Amino acid sequence: MASDHFDYLIIGNSTAAIGAVEGIRSIDTARSVAVVALETEHTYSKPLITYYLAGKVDEHNIRYRPRDFYDKMNVTCRLGI
């Protein structure tokens, strides 16, 4: 990772990051984008955590973007960093 170069580097893998990725890709599909985040989990809805723990939503519903979101957006994603 240290030797990689990216045009856009987004820190975090949550709501703000998803918005940034989608915003960038809406106007720029050419340049490179990377997401790095402390958490190891793919993006999930924090407001739904309590509902998930209570069994009111399942794992599919708490994740508001598909697993292949970053691939489809042509984004390099490094989680757990």
Ligand X SMILES: Cc1cc2nc3c(=O)[nH]c(=O)nc-3n(C[C@H](O)[C@H](O)[C@H](O)COP(=O)(O)OP(=O)(O)OC[C@H]3O[C@@H](n4cnc5c(N)ncnc54)[C@H](O)[C@@H]3O)c2cc1C
Q: Which of 7, 9, 31, 49 binds ligand X (CB under 6 A)?
A: 49
Q: Rounded to whole angstroms, how far apart are CA atoms 28 and 74?
A: 11
- Nearer residue to ligand X within complex by CB, 13 or 30: 13
Confirm or reject binding of residue 12 to ligand X (CB under 6 A): yes
Q: How many residues bind ligand X (CB under 6 A)?
A: 15
Q: Is 22 an interacting residue with respect to ligand X (CB under 6 A)?
A: no
CB-based burial label for 30 (10 Å; 0-12, 13-18, 19+): exposed
Other beta carbons within 10 Å of 20: 16
- What are the residues binding ligand X (CB under 6 A)? 11-17, 36-39, 46-47, 49-50
